[in-house]
Structure 1
Amino acid sequence: MLHTISRQRATFIFIITLLCFIGLFSPVQGRAADLPDRAEVQSQLNTLNKQKELTPQDKLVQQDLTQTLETLDKIERIKSETAQLRQQVEQAPAKLRQAVESLNNLSDVPNEDATRKTLSTLSLRQLESRVTQTLDDLQNAQNDLATYNSQLVSLQTQPERVQNAMFNASQQLQQIRNRLNGTSVGDETLRPTQQVLLQAQQALLNAQIEQQRKSLEGNTILQDTLQKQRDYVTAWSNRLEHQLQLLQEAVNSKRLTLTEKTAQEAVTPTKRRVFRPTRWSSRSWILTISSARS
């Protein structure tokens, strides 16, 4: 409980810090909103690529356009990831309730005697099929457990990582703003394509900041959900291991019964009637006929 409160407090502090950063970046966001059209940038780059010879200035412009396209692609990818993150946060409460309900259902432990009795009525093939299915379910549960543990570790260390990322982003944004405003010492006049590139880089950094903000907002609910899912999978794995033990006992018992039956049949084979024909000699046959005539 204290750990949860401490985590929530730390997350809250980081969110406040993040909002302060966003307040500092508001002038930048306004300028970065006017992003170039990707098709237009691609068209300019295609025109340059068709030229047989490029001047040194053309090569710099070509480099600017290429980096701008790469930056625009990164922005779209970050926005897509942020949308997926937002969806995960929205779905987390329902998944949390489902995990709690599933965990509560596991509290009803089935009667072992009844289970053993049911298993004893199954054939060896049916038992072996259930063993295979239970092993598959157990492997899937263990894979899920490893995934949940990995995701939990990532979420628990997220606030510190986000703080570092935010600090680096703030420095980069300040440098870009100084270059765009012409306040950087020793900087030459920006090329138009270079200015567009810097604006795209602004937008990328702001998109990354927005992603970090969303991740912090959903940190607590995502951790709570993963912890409850991990608790359920752990309990389910224990249930499967116990089921596997009962199944293996039933398989061993069934095999022993079949072995004993086979051995018994080998010791006491089924008695068979053997027909033995009567042997008649020629003399007996003649005497029998003579007696019949007299």
Structure 2
Amino acid sequence: MSSVIVEQTNPLATSSSAIYNFKKGHDSFNDFILSYPRGAYTGMRTVGHGAILELNSHMKRVVNSLSLMKLCPPDGTIEPDIVSQQLASFRNVESFEEKLVPLIRAGLQAYYDQEPQAVETKVSLMVTYSYDLQQPCFAAHFGHLGQIPQQRVKVAMENKARTMPSVKDSQWVRDRALMEKKKPQDINEVILMDNADRIYEGMASNFFAVRQRHDLEEGETKSSYVIQCASLEHVLLGTVMKVVMALCEQEKIDIEWVFPKLHDARAGKWEGCFLTSTSRLLLPIETIYCKDGR
């Protein structure tokens, strides 16, 4: 599938003076992210061809991640003041929005010109600092948004958890590369868990379990189902996850912020489970494959 990468070559300039470089080719998401030094990234999708789903959430995610990260030189442990000054406009939501919206518009126009049959687009954003160029890097990748499976999907468990899950650090793209490479073709996602059978999230998704509740009193209007998800101190708050949270509140479905336990699934205590992500939206899970073969 073809792609378009748009990079602002003068990232410190205002949007009215922005100069964009367009690279058309077949670069994948991983190719794009890993071509830059470690930094903050996020993956977005269009809705209605030209709008970005939960754009404000994505902007805040990048700003928050950059604020929590320290982009130090290769041989240092402290972010220099000059680097912090140059990144200041990317660590503020208002100034970042002024830069981001024109870049997304330019990229979508270029991508749809190249792929006029495309209905929707996957948009990946990268912000970091290059010590070679002595300036921030600010770029976006526009590519094919695959069809969402119409049937339940299969997932595989992996004993691994992210460090600083609240930060969208591109180092995670490097760390998960081996898991992605080993993932069988019929497996939709790899789910992260620990030695205590506690389930965290997917490599690039949020994970939810559904159980039936047995504590409803007569006359209560709450749903008879409860959703379980690892608490936000342990997993990233995904943009589609926020939509699920809003729907649960609307439908009076309680969310338990506790780790779903794999042994509960094996004991038949779940009614089901599902994934959410920007590209998947919401996918019900059919089969969970574990390393012990059970």
TM-score (norm 1): 0.17
**Where is the helix percentage greater, Structure 1 or Structure 2?**
1
With CA pairs under 8 Å and 6+ residues apart, which has the higher RCO, 1 or 2?
1
Structure with the largest fraction of strand = 2
Q: Which has the larger radius of gyration?
A: 1
TM-score (norm 2): 0.17
